Copies of this chain bind each other. A is one copy, B any other.
Amino acid sequence: MKAAVVLVSGGIDSATTLALARQSGFDCYALSVDYGQRHRVELEAAARVASMLGAREQKIIKLDLTAFGGSALTDENIAVPTSPSSGIPSTYVPARNTILLSLALAWAEVLGSSDIFIGANAVDYSGYPDCRPEYLQAYEAMANLATKAAVAGVRLQIHAPLVDLSKAQIIKRGVDAGVDLSQTLSCYQPSRGGQACGQCDSCRIRRKGFEDAGIADPTVYV
């Protein structure tokens, strides 16, 4: 079985991505990052997801992005918006996917893997620039010049199987792949017990996704 590194945050998208990677026959290494996110409890969901979907191993890497701040998710003085706004919301974390993919690239090279999976989605999303296909393509091009493996002729692929799906489609795909979505967490400001606020961007997109998919929303809201 070919090894793949899968970025797993604990939300619907990364859980579905992990399930699809497993269905495609990959031996999956789940990578999660404890970056000081406000919704740190998502790491518990990430561990559940990695385990229930049969990841070979999960690593949780610590990296304190609150040292930079600049986001509602990494600076507690910036509030999480609870109503829709125009433009990219303050929950955007500077360079987050670039950092996450770079850590995945490092692990992939050590594992001898040429496949990285990310649950990026550019349809029902918050407009984060590092979720768009053109960004992911540029990342892949860069990565294929970055490593000893690349110099040796290994062609790295960044897989983003959800990139052009709607949230409803992702939810259906996840359910079809056997993902227990009740075990995932999307909320940016959950309670300590992991109950969702129902008001942040991420909750709104998720809730509407279940409605559009015609699937009962298993999320526990506060």
Would A146 and B67 be within 8 Å (CB), given that A129-B151, A141-B141 are in contact?
Answer: no
> Contacts of A129 on B, CB cut-off 8 Å?
145-148, 150-151
Determine if B110 and A142 form an interchain contact, defined as CB atoms under 8 angstroms apart.
Answer: no
* Chain A contact surface mostly: helix
Number of interface residues of A (CB under 8 A): 43
- For residue A130, which residues in chain B have a CB less than 8 angstroms away from its CB? 145-147
Whether A125 sits at the interface, judged by CB under 8 Å, is: no
Q: Which A residues form the contact surface with B (CB < 8 A)? A: 59, 61-65, 67-70, 88, 92-99, 102-103, 105-107, 109-110, 128-130, 132, 134-135, 138-139, 141-143, 145-148, 150-151
Subset of 5 A-B contacts with CB under 8 Å:
A70-B106, A94-B107, A99-B102, A99-B103, A132-B145
